[in-house]
């Protein structure tokens, strides 16, 4: 029987999220002083040494990104942007952090700002997260009043301002370059990558874009050191990870464990097991832009390296459990509907492709067994073409769930 390992969520549900005093009493904002006692370069080195990887989906090493953002000296203007758009179906962990411990994110943002010598940071939050916005806004006011934000923070000579910007209902705006477009007051159409945000980001200046959970890890790393951080998780995915477990489980919720936790331990020991107590049929890891795994993967360790070996992804940490009585075809149709809905329409392969594969999927239920297999094959081939020719990662995503559905569940789809 495993239990949670709460580092990010250590104070969640323990302290009042709207009280800066309680956060400080629990050791909050101490890491900020530690950062100021050191140099920005040393802070970047510590994050590099920690091996922290981005928690927004791609798993990119955070230290390297910081280095890249800090390296450029184009007039010394740079920005830190927190990606709190959290639109991936099945994912709600960032909301939990923001609602239960907003000061942790703020402290992480200030440390990130200091490490790349940025003077301004933005938290871009999806428009529907009213409670997160409210709590963070309140916490930011408190942080200003206490001198943790603003001019010459704690007498360090470092000044940093922090603002919240709402999104307005677009999954694509969670993609970092599209997010920056949206932040600049534009429609959410993606930019061509490269250049990466660390080279040419917000208002074309070097910009560090990190996920909420990634930033929330910084106070721990700076306060306790990189080797402490490495004492959790695996060698290649150090630290803890927040998992959003939902679907057919008894206790859906956000659970924090060592990265590398065994899939079935997470489902059975923390999420209370499947709703009907029977072994699950499938798990969709990482959301709509994630991968399906069959029950034979139940002993899999949830870390970037193991999952990659198995052709699966961790993505945002969504763990969508699909019970043994569920049908996979409606789920597949729902995923394709999602992409169809969220495609921005800027490039042809994705605009036409997302509509086409969704419509084809609607024909599956009425088809015979053999025909189902060939429709699935056609959809998968189409998604593969889209992955090659689409302009941005959204059009490159449908192949992830579709390809893994085909590999593991063709037979079930033919007969269900």
Partner 1 sequence: MDQQEIIAGFSPDKTNLLAMLHALQDNHPQNYLTEESLRAAASHLRVNLSWVYGVAGYYSMFSLQPRGRFIIRICNSPVCNMMGSSGLIDVLGSILGIGAGETTPDGLFTVEQVECLGICDVAPAMMVNRKVYGNLTRKSLEAIIDELRILQNKPE
Ligand X SMILES: Cc1cc2nc3c(=O)[nH]c(=O)nc-3n(C[C@H](O)[C@H](O)[C@H](O)COP(=O)(O)O)c2cc1C
Q: Site mask, partner 1, residues 352-391, x = CB under 8 A? A: ----------------------------------------
Q: How far apart (Å, rounded) are the C-alpha atoms in residues 210 and 115? A: 13
Query: Pattern 347-376, binding to ligand SF4, x per CB under 6 A?
Result: x--xx-------------------------
C-alpha separations of 172 from 54, 126, 188 in Å: 18, 11, 7
Identify residues 39-98 at the interface with partner 1 (CB under 8 A).
86-92, 94-95
Eight-class DSSP state of 186:
S
Nearest CB to ligand X, comparing residues 143 and 208: 208
CB of residue 227 vs partner 1: minimum separation in angstroms? 34
181: contact with ligand X by CB under 6 A: no
If the CB atoms of residues 179 and 300 are measured against ligand X, the closer one turns out to be 179
β-pair type (318-322, 282-285): antiparallel
For 20, list phi and psi in degrees, rounded to 5: -70, -30
- Alpha-carbon separation of residue 159 from 51, 117, 233 (angstroms): 27, 9, 34
**Of the candidate residues 344, 364, 387, 402, the single one contacting ligand SF4 (CB under 6 A):** 344
Contact region with ligand SF4 (CB under 6 A), list: 226-234, 319-327, 341-349, 398-406: 341-349
CB atoms within 10 A of CB 180: 25
Pick 9 or 52: Cβ nearer partner 1 = 9
Structure tokens at 242: 């927040």
Q: Which does 83 bind (CB under 5 to 8 A by kind): partner 1, ligand SF4, ligand X, none?
A: ligand X
Q: Which does 258 bind (CB under 5 to 8 A by kind): partner 1, ligand SF4, ligand X, none?
A: none
Among 167, 174, 273, 315, binds ligand X (CB under 6 A): 174
Indicate whether 123 belongs to the interface with ligand SF4 (CB under 6 A): no
Backbone φ and ψ of 412, nearest 5°: -65, -40
Distances (CA, A) of 23 to 9, 255, 358, 399: 12, 21, 48, 43
Q: What is the 3-state secondary structure (H, E, C) of 8-66?
A: CCCCCCCCCCCCHHHHHHCCCCHHHHHHHHCCHHHHHHHHHHHCCECCCCCCCEHHHHH
d(CA 141, CA 132): 14
Nearer to ligand X, 179 or 267 (CB): 179
Q: Does 160 bind partner 1 (CB under 8 A)?
A: no
Output the CA–CA distances (angstroms, integers) from residue 26 to 12, 103, 104, 215, 399, in the order listed.
Answer: 11, 11, 11, 19, 45
Out of 122, 158, 304, 409, the only residue in the binding site for partner 1 (CB under 8 A) is 122
Q: Judged by CB, which is closer to ligand X: 107, or 175?
A: 175
**Residue length of the chain:** 416
395 binds, among partner 1, ligand X, ligand SF4, none (CB under 5 to 8 A by kind): ligand SF4
* 283 forms part of the interface with ligand SF4 (CB under 6 A): no
The yes or no reply on residue 170 touching ligand SF4 (CB under 6 A) is no
Q: In terms of CB distance, is 100 or 142 closer to ligand X? A: 100
Please report whether residue 170 would count as binding ligand X according to CB under 6 A.
no
CB 207 within 8 A of CB 181: no
Q: Which tokens in the block code for residue 254?
A: 């956000």
Question: What track of x and - describes contact with ligand X for positions 87 through 106 (by CB under 6 A)?
Answer: xx------------------
Tokens of 268: 């059975």
Binding region for ligand SF4 (CB under 6 A)? 172, 190, 343-347, 350-351, 390-392, 394-395
């Amino acid at each position: 029987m495993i239990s949670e390992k709460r580092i990010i969520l250590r104070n969640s549900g323990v302290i009042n999220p709207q009280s800066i005093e309680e956060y400080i009493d629990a050791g909050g904002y101490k890491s900020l002083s530690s950062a100021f006692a050191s140099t920005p370069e040393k802070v970047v080195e510590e994050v590099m040494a920690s091996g922290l990887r981005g928690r927004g989906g791609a798993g990119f090493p955070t230290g390297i990104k910081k280095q890249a953002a800090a390296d450029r000296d184009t007039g010394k203007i740079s920005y830190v942007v927190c990606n709190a758009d959290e639109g991936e179906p099945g994912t709600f962990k960032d909301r939990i952090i923001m609602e239960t411990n907003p000061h942790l994110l703020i402290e992480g943002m200030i440390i990130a700002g200091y490490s790349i010598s940025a003077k301004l940071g933005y938290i871009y939050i999806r428009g529907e997260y009213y409670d997160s916005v409210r709590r963070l806004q309140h916490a930011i006011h408190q942080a200003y009043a206490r001198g943790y934000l603003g001019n010459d923070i704690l007498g360090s000579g470092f000044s940093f301002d922090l603002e919240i910007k709402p999104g307005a209902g677009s999954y694509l705006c969670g993609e970092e370059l599209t997010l920056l477009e949206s932040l600049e007051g534009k429609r959410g159409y993606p930019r061509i990558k490269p250049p990466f945000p660390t080279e040419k980001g917000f208002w074309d200046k070097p910009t560090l874009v990190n996920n909420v959970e990634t930033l929330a890890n910084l106070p721990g790393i700076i306060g306790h050191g990189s080797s402490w951080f490495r004492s959790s998780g695996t060698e290649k995915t150090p630290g803890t990870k927040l998992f959003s477990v939902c679907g057919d489980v008894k206790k859906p919720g956000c659970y924090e464990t060592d990265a590398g936790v065994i899939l079935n331990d997470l489902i059975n020991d923390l999420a209370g097991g499947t709703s009907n107590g029977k072994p699950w049929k499938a798990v969709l890891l990482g959301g709509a832009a994630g991968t399906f795994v069959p029950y034979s993967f139940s002993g899999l360790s949830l870390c970037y390296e193991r999952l990659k070996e198995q052709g699966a992804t961790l993505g945002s940490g969504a763990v969508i459990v699909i019970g043994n009585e569920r049908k996979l075809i409606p789920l597949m149709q729902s995923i394709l509907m999602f992409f169809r809905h969220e495609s921005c329409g800027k490039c042809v392969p994705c605009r036409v492709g997302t509509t086409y594969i969704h419509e084809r999927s609607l024909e599956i239920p009425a088809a015979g067994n053999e025909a189902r297999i060939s429709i699935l094959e056609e959809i998968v081939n189409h998604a593969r073409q889209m992955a090659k020719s689409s302009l941005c990662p959204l059009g490159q995503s449908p192949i992830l769930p579709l390809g893994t559905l085909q590999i593991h569940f063709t037979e079930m789809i033919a007969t269900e």
